[in-house]
Amino acid sequence: MVNVGGNIESAVQGQYSIDIRSVLQEAWTLTKISRLSIVIGALICMFLSMVIVMVASQYLGGVENALKDMKAQYIINVLVTLVISPFIAGIEMMGVFHAVGLKTQPKLVFAFLSKGAIIAICALLSSTLSSLGFNLLILPGIFLLVTLSLTVPLVVEKNMMPIKAIILSVKALRFQFFKLLAIYGILAMILIFSIFPLLAMMNSGFEMIGVVFLCFALTYLTPLFYNTKGILYREIFGVKVNASEAPAGSHSDNDDSGDNNSNSGNGNNGSFTA
């Protein structure tokens, strides 16, 4: 097998570097050639989320009541997180696979349902911790939101339990917190600018133009976001792939005995094939 990028031992010691411009440039290059699978996967997750919201709302007194009831909104948010997170994990791994030169297909969104319970727990814990941070003070919330952003790939690719993945992600990402915050901040600003045309055209009769522009922008921004996360994961924690599929120049890690922390993408050897 070949290890592409960083590794856990170096990550927890902060022995990795993040170049903001290089990461975003590479993510954009990947997005231009591989956005379709992520876009389709995101549409599947959106559809499933809408179904869950509609069904749950009916059991909570209807959509109008759910919109007014904070408790109902909390229950719906938890349900969506638990049910959708295993599918979103597939999209996250698309970004990871793209970052190591592998092609992906939309069906990958269903590839990790066997780990659904563990992924759902990890996503719920990460979301809860971030929410608590925001409720206490804004800065702890931002810190946790950034440093917990790579927990799901750790659960999937490194076969970690949620608590271990959360602790490892915080320990490793804290070293480059400000650069990571800058990267996510840039992506957030692009999203905000994409919404401006819709806001400017509200009540003008041309709202549909703004909607179309936003939807078109999201077909690029969504893959860009997940490809960016995939590159960050590769650079910080590394990804094990089959030697025959590894990109040229990758770091070789001849682990014939198998890595206990690696998940098997093909069922038995700790490496991934998309």
Q: What are the residue ranges spanned by the domains of the chain?
A: 2-245
State phi, psi for 241 to the nearest 5 degrees.
-130, 165
d(CA 143, CA 149): 10
Burial of 3 (0-12, 13-18, 19+ CB in 10 A): buried
Residue 238: per-residue pLDDT: 94
Q: List per-residue pLDDT tens for the chain, 274 residues long.
A: 888 889 999 999 999 999 999 999 999 999 999 999 999 999 999 999 999 998 888 888 777 777 777 888 888 889 999 999 999 999 999 999 999 999 999 999 999 999 999 999 999 999 999 989 888 888 999 999 999 999 999 999 999 999 999 999 999 999 999 999 999 999 999 999 999 888 888 877 778 888 999 999 999 999 999 999 999 999 999 998 887 666 655 554 444 433 433 333 443 334 555 6
- Whole-prediction pTM: 0.87
CB atoms within 10 A of CB 182: 15
- Give residue for tokens 């959360």: 166
Helix (H/G/I), strand (E/B), else coil: 253:
coil
d(CA 169, CA 153): 10
Give 212's Cβ-side CA count (13 Å radius). 4
**How long a stretch of residues is the chain?**
274
User: What is the helix (H) or strand (E) element at residue 4, kind and residue range?
Assistant: strand 2-4
d(CA 39, CA 35): 6
Residue 112: per-residue pLDDT: 95
